[in-house]
Amino acid sequence: MTRPADQPGVPPQTLGLDVQAHLGRQLRAVFDDLARQPVPDRFVQLLDALERKTLPDSPAPATPTDARTAKTGDA
Amino acid sequence: MTAAPSEAANAAAKAQLLAALPRLRAFALSFCGHPDQADDLVQETLVKAWANLGSFEPGSNMPGWLYTILRNEFYSRLRKRRHEVDDPDGMIAARVATAPAQEAHLHFQDFRRALFRLPPDQREALMLVGANGISYEEAAALCNCAVGTMKSRVNRARNRLAEMLSMQGPGHFQADRAWATVPAVGSVAGTAAV
């Protein structure tokens, strides 16, 4: 981990490197824990729905921009 | 606005969003701590991201782009809800179940509780720089602040965490294992050093 340079307005670094390393490990553990949680199905379904909405639903690939704006209201 | 995305481009965008979801959600949880709020935040982020895919440059940093949307949403909600109550004991982090030994688990929970007592900007700084190893420069860009401000937040956050966990100064690190049973304040001579 890099040490922040001394700067005006930056509080002096008073923590020992072992403490900083310990905090870093704990922080990573907390974040990894959060990131390991299974993603709820609702998000997968939401993305599926968003994808369907932006697809041109007629076989002719009409201007998809219009299709997109026209369909934003139906959610 | 660029040309409307093709089917293939949409599928690719969806795959990228899916891949980014676990970490995006972790950031959301680290922002607000409450699973329901965090998931609302993630949902809003996905909807906004999808609506603005045209403004995302293919090949650029998708997670960073999503993070920016997420944090904008979080802070705009925070501004609307002035009565934001920190509830460290009700937060998701305290309920996450993957901690090994009982003693370690207790320390881990103390840590998380302390983390969620930090102001959001300091917690965010720690999550970006401390937990994810993002450079100060990149973190500052993500948070739209000066690099010095980011460094300052990280330092303050670290110092406050150490203070809350009674681990100030190198000599007191070992006490971290047993602080719950030790009359911490009296023995921490270095308290005034901060």
- Mean pLDDT, chain B, whole residue set: 79
Per-residue pLDDT of chain A (75 residues; tens, 9 = 90+): 444 444 455 555 578 888 888 899 999 999 999 999 999 999 999 999 999 887 665 344 444 444 444 444 443
Question: Is the Cβ pair A31, B26 closer than 8 Å?
Answer: yes
Residue A17 near chain B (CB below 8 Å): yes
Does residue B192 belong to any structural domain of this protein?
A: no
pLDDT in tens, B46-82: 999 999 998 888 788 899 999 999 999 998 888 887 6
d(CA B4, CA B176): 56
Does residue A34 belong to any structural domain of this protein?
A: yes
Q: Are B70 and B41 in contact (CB under 8 A)?
A: yes
Backbone torsion region of residue B47, taken as left when φ is above 0, otherwise alpha when ψ lies between -120 and 50, otherwise beta: alpha
Please give the structure tokens belonging to residue B10: 């949409």
Q: Are B78 and B133 in contact (CB under 8 A)?
A: no
Question: Is the Cβ pair A39, B25 closer than 8 Å?
Answer: yes
Tell me which residue in A4, A34, A39 faces B151 most closely, judged by beta carbons. Answer: A4
Question: Which residues of chain B does A8 touch, with a Cβ-Cβ cutoff of 8 Å?
Answer: 148
Return the pLDDT at B3: 52
Does residue B58 belong to any structural domain of this protein?
A: yes
d(CA B142, CA B11): 26
What would the 3-class secondary structure string for chain B be?
A: CCCCCCHHHHHHHHHHHHHHHHHHHHHHHHHHCCHHHHHHHHHHHHHHHHHCHHHCCCCCCHHHHHHHHHHHHHHHHHHHCCCCCCCHHHCHHHHCCCCCCHHHHHHHHHHHHHHCCCCHHHHHHHHHHHHCCCCHHHHHHHCCCCHHHHHHHHHHHHHHHHHHCCCCCHHHCHHHHCHHHCCHHHHCHHHHHC
Last residue of a domain, one of B40, B61, B85: B85
Q: Are A31 and B30 in contact (CB under 8 A)?
A: yes
Instruction: Give this prediction's pTM.
Output: 0.70
Does residue B66 belong to any structural domain of this protein?
A: yes
Q: Are B171 and B136 in contact (CB under 8 A)?
A: no
Does residue B186 belong to any structural domain of this protein?
A: no
Return the pLDDT at B169: 47
Return the pLDDT at B152: 97
Return the pLDDT at B94: 47
Share of chain B above pLDDT 90, in %: 51
pLDDT in tens, B1-50: 445 568 888 888 899 999 999 999 999 999 988 889 999 999 999 999 99
Does residue B191 belong to any structural domain of this protein?
A: no
Return the pLDDT at B153: 97
Q: Domains in chain B: how many in total?
A: 2
Does residue B31 belong to any structural domain of this protein?
A: yes
Residue B171 has pLDDT above 60, yes or no: no
Tell me which residue in B7, B152, B168 faces A11 most closely, judged by beta carbons. Answer: B152
**Closest by alpha carbon to B20, among A9, A49, A39, A14?**
A39
- The CATH number that applies at residue B155 is 1.10.10.10
Does residue A7 belong to any structural domain of this protein?
A: no
- The CATH number that applies at residue B46 is 1.10.1740.10
Q: Are A56 and A64 in contact (CB under 8 A)?
A: yes
Return the pLDDT at A1: 47
Report helix, strand or coil for B3. Answer: coil
Residue pairs between chains A and B whose CB atoms are closer than 8 Å: 145
Does residue A5 belong to any structural domain of this protein?
A: no
d(CA B118, CA A41): 31
Does residue B68 belong to any structural domain of this protein?
A: yes
Does residue B110 belong to any structural domain of this protein?
A: no
Does residue A31 belong to any structural domain of this protein?
A: yes
Does residue A37 belong to any structural domain of this protein?
A: yes
- Give yes or no: residues B18 and B80 share one domain: yes
Return the pLDDT at B107: 79
Angle, helix A41-54 to helix B35-51, in steps of 10 degrees: 20
**Closest by alpha carbon to A38, among B46, B70, B97?**
B97
Residue A8 near chain B (CB below 8 Å): yes
Which domain, by its residues, includes A40? 23-55
Please give the structure tokens belonging to residue B177: 């294992």
Return the pLDDT at B181: 37
Between B33 and B131, the more confident residue is: B131
pLDDT in tens, B76-119: 888 887 655 555 555 554 444 444 455 666 678 889 999 999 99
Does residue A17 belong to any structural domain of this protein?
A: no
Between B164 and A60, the more confident residue is: B164
Question: Is the Cβ pair A50, B47 closer than 8 Å?
Answer: yes
Which domain, by its residues, includes B20? 10-85
Q: Domains in chain A: how many in total?
A: 1
- Give yes or no: residues B38 and B79 share one domain: yes
- Give yes or no: residues B80 and B18 share one domain: yes
Other CB atoms within 10 Å distance of the CB of residue B96:
17
